[in-house]
Structure 1
Amino acid sequence: MSYKTIVVHVDDIPNAGACYTFAAELARVEQAHLIGLASSGVSRFLRETVAMNYAAPTIRPYLDTMRDRAAPTIRPYLDTMRDRAARALDQFERVAASFTLAGSERRAVDDEPGRSLSALARYCDLCVLSQGSASQGAGLAAEVAKDSGTPVLIVPRAQAPALPIRRILLGWNGSREAARAMRFALPLLQRASAVDVAIFDTAALESEAGAELRPVTALGQTLSRQGVRAEVIQRERAGDAGEALLALAGERGAQLLVMGCYGHSRLRELLLGGATRTVLKSMTLPVFMAA
């Protein structure tokens, strides 16, 4: 398994260049095709409303009236948002050109970032995006992971991460999401020099698995068969699993955190799982998530 098509979210947020550099370096290592996707932020509904088919004679008078009223207000807004996306894509292209890649391209779409990234990510192996500003919240990464089914790798805004990634912390609770994150992260886990597996509340994990299965042993065997030598770290039940994961990542010197992304709604932060919300808000290292 490898990542042969990587899409990176292109936006003009602070430290965006670090996100593009990380994505390009990963694409170079994986010999992957890199796509930079910039979304104007204009909703599909607004775009299609403005760009309706005026040829239909039965509605032309009404639409002409609406167009005349809307165009002076909307057109400058559209132009501003598209110019912003184009400038961000120019920066992405400069970064991508500094790496020897299998291929790269830029794409610009008129849509909301969550929708456009999710749609394209379904045809990619990995989506890379920045943590963003504190005011933006943690919703975009979780939304893309949930809606696309493709893993996301979030680059922290606090500092530029370094490659190669030698030490990885894998958060494990036996869930479907954690299992998907582990499998999607195998190319990174296999190249790492050290992999730590964090399990909080082993008793609960074993109880849920049943008497026929020993989760800690089974997980170690699964990783070993994939060529990953891992050390399992068992801790008592944590009050906030997200805080506990980040603390352990710092303690172990991890350069990447791999975990499941939990949430049951596109209402973003409001209904994200607690660990997901905490990690995406407070992360200082890259985070690999799958839902």
Structure 2
Amino acid sequence: MTYRTLLAILDTPKDARQVTDFSLALAKQYDAHVIGAHAESVAMIPMVAPMEIPDPATVQALQDAAHRESETVEKLFRDIAAREGASHAWRSFVTASGLNSASLIDSARSADLVVAAQGEAGLLNDNRAELESFLFESGRPVLLIPHILKQPKPIRRVLIAWNGSREAARATFDALPFLKAADTVEIFSVDPPETPSQTPGMAGAEIAATLARHGIKVTVTSQEHSGLTPAAAIENRLSDSSIDLLVMGAFGTKRWWEMLFGGVTRTLLDSMTALTLLSR
């Protein structure tokens, strides 16, 4: 297994260069084709009193600005991809639904890996809701780039946040190309429960054995009774071990529960320090 088709989500000119640079670095590593994708937003129709009728001049100005941004993003992507000699294509969609455009989701479902940016202000805005929904609907792994990482670098150390869930298993196997190329891979569990088939001390042992059969150098670590939340324990591990890539399942509980009460996925997305591969 490898990554042969990458879909780079290019939202704004500010994050487009970052996502393009990282996507092309991966394309070079895996001999992959990169599709640059941009959703050009349809302007909301402003209403003017007293009759609440659309203001055509304002609508046109908003659409012109959105189209200029699309042209800027496209030129940036094409110029960098051509300079690097990468196999690439461009797709732009005019839509009122942003990342949740049906056409964009269809494109994602035909890619091996989706690459997107966390955003300069984290994901505490409308874009986060779009990204969460996109991740849920696309069915493909998403590699998120934290805003603090400006230049691509080799992925040498990988941490898998393992809780034995379907989502964690999906993310682990979606990340196999990264795991095989890494120098070290750590399976990390926080307060694992005792199950009929596994004691807390054995958490992650079986998936580690499976990965070892792929030729992956893997270690298993379990942290119990630390008093930390899973998110805090993972954040500490990322820092202490200088992790390049975090692999984890997304939204392990029902989405409405996550929206009301947060969760490990949401907490880690707010304070990303490493590349993060999410699968659902």
Normalising to structure 2: TM-score of the pair? Answer: 0.85
Preserved CA contact (<8 Å) 1:126 1:153? yes
- Aligned partner of residue 134 in structure 1, secondary structure: coil
Corresponding position of 1:221: 209
Q: CA deviation at 1:142?
A: 2.7
Alignment match of 2:100 (pick from 115, 122, 127): 115
Mapping for residues 250-269 of structure 1, pairs under 5 Å: 250-262=239-251, 264-265=254-255
- Aligned partner of residue 186 in structure 2, secondary structure: strand
- Aligned partner of residue 110 in structure 1, secondary structure: strand
Q: CA deviation at 1:136?
A: 4.7
**Residues in 2 aligned to 1:37 and 1:207: alpha-carbon distance in whole angstroms:** 44
Preserved CA contact (<8 Å) 1:34 1:104? yes
Corresponding position of 1:126: 113
Percent of residue pairs identical: 31
Gaps of 5+ in 2: 46-52
**Residues in 1 aligned to 2:37 and 2:180: alpha-carbon distance in whole angstroms:** 28
Structure 1 residues 272 and 37, CA gap change in structure 2 (3 angstroms): farther
Structure 1 residues 208 and 106, CA gap change in structure 2 (3 angstroms): farther
Q: CA deviation at 1:239?
A: 3.6
Are 1:40 and 2:40 matched, yes or no?
Answer: yes
- Aligned partner of residue 165 in structure 1, secondary structure: coil
Alignment match of 1:240 (pick from 229, 247, 250): 229
- Aligned partner of residue 78 in structure 1, secondary structure: helix
Are 1:106 and 2:90 matched, yes or no?
Answer: yes
Corresponding position of 1:7: 7
Gaps of 5+ in 1: 48-67
Corresponding position of 1:83: 68
Q: CA deviation at 1:264?
A: 3.5
- Aligned partner of residue 24 in structure 2, secondary structure: helix
Structure 1 residues 150 and 135, CA gap change in structure 2 (3 angstroms): closer
Letter of the 2:246 counterpart: L
Preserved CA contact (<8 Å) 2:122 2:147? no
Letter of the 1:287 counterpart: T
Preserved CA contact (<8 Å) 2:170 2:249? yes
Preserved CA contact (<8 Å) 1:168 1:254? yes
**Residues in 2 aligned to 1:149 and 1:264: alpha-carbon distance in whole angstroms:** 16
Alignment RMSD: 2.5
Corresponding position of 1:61: none
Preserved CA contact (<8 Å) 2:113 2:141? yes
Corresponding position of 1:279: 268
Corresponding position of 1:163: 153
Tell which deviates more after alignment, 162-171 or 14-23: 14-23
Deviation sequence 1:96-140 (CA, Å, 0-9, x none): 223232x20111111233213433211111110000132652334
Letter of the 1:164 counterpart: P
Letter of the 1:82 counterpart: H
- Count of aligned pairs: 263
More helix by percentage: 1
